[in-house]
Amino acid sequence: MARLDLEALHREMTAWRRDLHAHPEFGFEEKRTAAFVAQKLREFGLEVAEGVGGTGVVGTLTRGSGNRAIALRADMDALRIAEQGTQAWRSQTPGTMHACGHDGHTSMLLGAAKLLAGEGGFDGTVRFVFQPAEEWGRGALAMLDDGLLERFPFEEIFGLHNMPGLPVGHFETRSGPVMSAEDNFEIVLKGLGGHAARPHAGQETLVAACALIVNLQTIVSRRLSPADIGVVSVTELVTDGTRNALPGLARILGDCRSFRPEVSAAIEKEMRRIAEGTAQAYNVAAEVTYTREFVPLINDAALVAEALAAARTVLADDAVGIAADDAVRIAAEPMTASEDFARFLTHVPGCFVFMGNGGTAPLHNPAYDFNDEALLHGARFHAAVVRRRLAVAA
C-alpha cells in the first residue's frame, strides 16, 4: 500500500489543531468546528453526515469487502474557562478555551482518517465519530438518540484522551472500570430568616447547612463498604443571608462519584436520609434533587488487549523511536473523573485509552495546551487499531 509522508501529516495536523484551539466552541455550539471536520473528511474522500445529535459529525470509510464495522471517536467541545496562554494560537473567544485537549483529539482523528483513506490496509468499514458536548455529559446520548447506531452501525468503539504527566508517546489503559460515574446533587434547606441579633426568633438555615455538610461525609466513611470506591464532595453553599441577617434559605450543591450503580443508589438513599434527619433536628425543611450525569466507563478486556497491542505496533516502528515495553502499560487503578464515552459502551463493547501529553499544565487549567508532539502518535494509534480489528486476510 502507498505510504503517506508522516512528517507532512504531522505538520498538517499541527496546523489544524492550532486553528481549532484558536476558535473554541462550547457544547452543542461547535458549528465552526463541525464544518471544519466535515470539510476535511470530504477532502479525504469519506462519506460525511452532519448534524448528528445536534452538531456531531460522522465520517464513513470502507475498504475491501469485509462486512464488519468499528468506530473511532473524538470529542470537539471546549470549556468555559478564560485562557491564560500567550501562544500565537491562543483562544480568540473570550471566556472559552480548549482546556481538555479536544482540539488535539479532533485533529488526531482527522489525521487517522487521512492516513487510512490514503493508505488503506484494512478490510471493512470505519466510522469516525466526532462528538459534541462531552464536557457536560450530553453529547454521546444526543448522538445515540439521533439514531447513531441505527444509521451508522458498528460493532465496537475506541476512544483516546491525552494525559498530562504521562510522557509523549506513552499509552495506558486497563480492563474493567476505568472512569467513574458522576452524580450531581442539590439540597435546599428552607426555614425562617431573621435578624442576626435574634436567632431564637426564627429558623435560620446556615447552622443546619453546616451540620448537614459534615454529616454527608459519613456516607462514604460509615455507610459504604470499604471495598467500594465512592466520593461525596460538597462544592457550594449558597444562602440568602447577609452580614446582619440570618438566612432562611440555604442551597448545598455537590458531586458524587462511583463505579457501580448499586453504590450510586446507596449514596442517594443515605443522602436523602441524612438530609431529612438533619433538617428535622434543626426544625427546617429539606428538599433533595439527585441526578445522574455520567455513567461509569467500563473497558472490554479483549479490546483492551487489542488496543495495547496496537499501541505497541505503533511504537515498534523505527520512525517513532520509543521502546514499546516501557511506553505501553496497564493502568494501576481506575480514576474518579468521568467521561461521556462511557455512554457508547453501554451499547457496544469498546476501549478508552490514555495517551501521554508530556509535562503540560493539568487538564481544565487555564494555562493548559495540547502538546503537538503527541499528534502523530495518536493518529497512528487509531490507524493501527483499525488495521488490527479489520485485518486484511492473508
CA atoms of 328 and 313, how far apart (whole Å): 10
CA atoms of 353 and 193, how far apart (whole Å): 52
Q: Is 296 helix (H, G, I), strand (E, B) or coil?
A: coil
* Sequence-separated (6 or more) residues with CB below 8 Å from residue 367: 84, 85, 361
> Which residue blocks in the chain are alpha helix, DSSP H?
6-22, 31-43, 102-119, 139-145, 148-151, 206-216, 218, 261-281, 301-316, 324-327, 342-345, 375-389
Q: What b/e readout covers 279-310, taking b as 16+ CB neighbours within 10 angstroms?
A: beebebebebebebebbbbbbbeebbebbbeb
Q: What's the farthest any 2 CA atoms get from each other in the chain?
A: 86
161 is in an annotated binding site: yes
Number of neighbouring beta carbons within 10 Å of residue 142: 21
21 is in an annotated binding site: no
The C-alpha cell at 343 is 455512554
CA atoms of 354 and 350, how far apart (whole Å): 14
100 is in an annotated binding site: yes
Binding-site residue numbers for Mn(2+) are: 100, 102, 135, 161, 364
Binding-site residue numbers are: 100, 102, 135, 161, 364
